[in-house]
Amino acid sequence: MILGADIGGTKTLLGLARDGALVVDRRLANADFPDFASLLAAFFADTRTDPSSITGGCLALAGPIADDGRSARLTNLPWNIDADALSRRFGLPVLRLANDFAAAALGAVTAASAQRLTLQEGEPLLTAPRLVVGAGTGLGMAIVLPQGGQWHVISGEGGHVAFAPADEQQMALWAFLHARHGRVTWERVVSGPGLAAIHEFVAGIVLPPEEIAARAIADANGAERRSLELFLAAYGAFTGDMALACLARGGVFLAGGIAAKMLPMLQQGGFLAAFNAKAEHAALAVAMPIHVAIDPLLGLHGALRLACE
């Protein structure tokens, strides 16, 4: 029995897998518990799980992990997670700690075809790197390499590379953001807060990103649609640049909540046009498959796979 967890700032997904198959999962609100150990105890009680039956596990979390890999602190929640202390309290084997986006990346590239939507078929090379990009609260990026029948995940900070405007409107957006932040990174543009900032730039109104997206999909002529189109053009340009940087002929995967919520707009072409607009390397960009990961348990499935490696 393998234990997996996807620990975010507001919720935690926990699951148990046997022989590679998920047998039980729960979604718990972090605000209901003083620390992760209490949440884990509630999971064991609710699922009537004997911790001594667990043979391995991985906790994927949104926060920096200590250099020794044994402890971590969540970025947006005052929780410290100590793998050794959890093992002593519950009688668990040593649990692996991993970055939450690394788990999501592994979940994305190993998901069944039914758990992804293809935006561009491309010409995939099975031995080539995969790129996983995820816009949400921030902008995550990871490279996944096939190695001897397994996968090696390399986390990156591509979201903090400097934003490169592609036209006059994007140059004006850069100036708008530069006046506010100084250095303008891609994450300032391609993220939930980035979409809100884009709409403020376009319409002079501050709205939550979820509302901007909903209005954009409902009304093709509103300011929200113009904001979302600008956002998707930037998202496509960034993803295409990162895909060229690692020659992601194995495939490009969009993870994170934003992509799943914007499927109708992603399928209309603005993202793809910007992804493929690579001048003399346009043919190489077109050869890269692009998929949207739609598995709601992506990070949990990735954590369970990491536990077995």
User: Based on the domain organization, do 178 and 285 belong to the same domain?
Assistant: yes
Tokens of 275: 């992804």
pLDDT, residue 22, reads 93
* 260: in domain: yes
The 10s digit of each residue's pLDDT in 223-246 is 999 999 999 999 999 999 999 999
Q: For the chain, how many structural domains are there in total? A: 2
User: Based on the domain organization, do 281 and 149 belong to the same domain?
Assistant: yes
The 10s digit of each residue's pLDDT in 137-151 is 889 899 999 988 889
pLDDT, residue 260, reads 80
pLDDT band at 124 (very low <50, low <70, confident <90, very high): very high
User: Based on the domain organization, do 210 and 270 belong to the same domain?
Assistant: yes
User: Based on the domain organization, do 239 and 209 belong to the same domain?
Assistant: yes
* 106: in domain: no
User: Based on the domain organization, do 148 and 71 belong to the same domain?
Assistant: no
User: Based on the domain organization, do 171 and 54 belong to the same domain?
Assistant: no
What CATH number should be reported for the domain holding residue 20? 3.30.420.40
Q: Which of 254, 256, 261 is nearest to 214 (CA)?
A: 261
pLDDT band at 259 (very low <50, low <70, confident <90, very high): confident
pLDDT, residue 32, reads 97
What single DSSP character describes residue 162? B
Report the alpha-carbon angle 136-140-142, nearest 5. 145
pLDDT, residue 292, reads 96
pLDDT band at 10 (very low <50, low <70, confident <90, very high): confident
pLDDT, residue 152, reads 92
pLDDT, residue 263, reads 85
What CATH number should be reported for the domain holding residue 217? 3.40.367.20
The 10s digit of each residue's pLDDT in 40-55 is 999 999 999 999 999 9
Ramachandran class of 148: left when φ > 0, alpha when ψ lies in -120 to 50, beta otherwise:
left
Strand order in the sheet with 251-255: 116-120, 290-293, 251-255, 130-135, 139-147, 150-156
- Please say which residue of 38, 59, 94 terminates a domain: 94
pLDDT, residue 136, reads 86
* 102: in domain: no
- Please say which residue of 94, 122, 142 terminates a domain: 94
User: Based on the domain organization, do 35 and 79 belong to the same domain?
Assistant: yes
pLDDT band at 62 (very low <50, low <70, confident <90, very high): confident
The 10s digit of each residue's pLDDT in 106-122 is 999 999 899 999 999 99
pLDDT band at 269 (very low <50, low <70, confident <90, very high): confident
pLDDT, residue 267, reads 85
User: Based on the domain organization, do 153 and 295 belong to the same domain?
Assistant: yes
User: Based on the domain organization, do 219 and 76 belong to the same domain?
Assistant: no
**Is the predicted pLDDT of residue 23 greater than 80, yes or no?**
yes
Range(s) of the domain holding residue 85? 2-94
* 66: in domain: yes
The rounded percent of the chain whose pLDDT value lies above 90 is: 84
* 104: in domain: no
pLDDT, residue 189, reads 98
User: Based on the domain organization, do 160 and 308 belong to the same domain?
Assistant: yes
**Is the predicted pLDDT of residue 309 greater than 80, yes or no?**
no
Tokens 């309290």, residue located = 89
* Number of other CB atoms surrounding residue 41 within 10 Å: 15
Tell me the pLDDT of the chain averaged across its residues: 94
User: Based on the domain organization, do 14 and 127 belong to the same domain?
Assistant: no
pLDDT, residue 145, reads 96
**Is the predicted pLDDT of residue 26 greater than 90, yes or no?**
yes
Q: Which of 148, 144, 142, 106 is nearest to 128 (CA)?
A: 144
* Spacing of C-alpha 93 from chain mean position: 28
Q: Which of 200, 292, 285, 300 is nearest to 241 (CA)?
A: 285
Which uninterrupted H or E stretch holds 280?
none
User: Based on the domain organization, do 187 and 302 belong to the same domain?
Assistant: yes
* 105: in domain: no
The 10s digit of each residue's pLDDT in 172-207 is 999 999 999 999 999 999 999 999 999 999 999 999
Residue 72 to residue 98: CA distance in whole angstroms? 9
pLDDT, residue 187, reads 94
* 107: in domain: no
Q: Which of 47, 53, 57 is nearest to 26 (CA)?
A: 47
pLDDT band at 257 (very low <50, low <70, confident <90, very high): confident
- Give the torsion sign (CA, 188, 190, 192, 194): positive
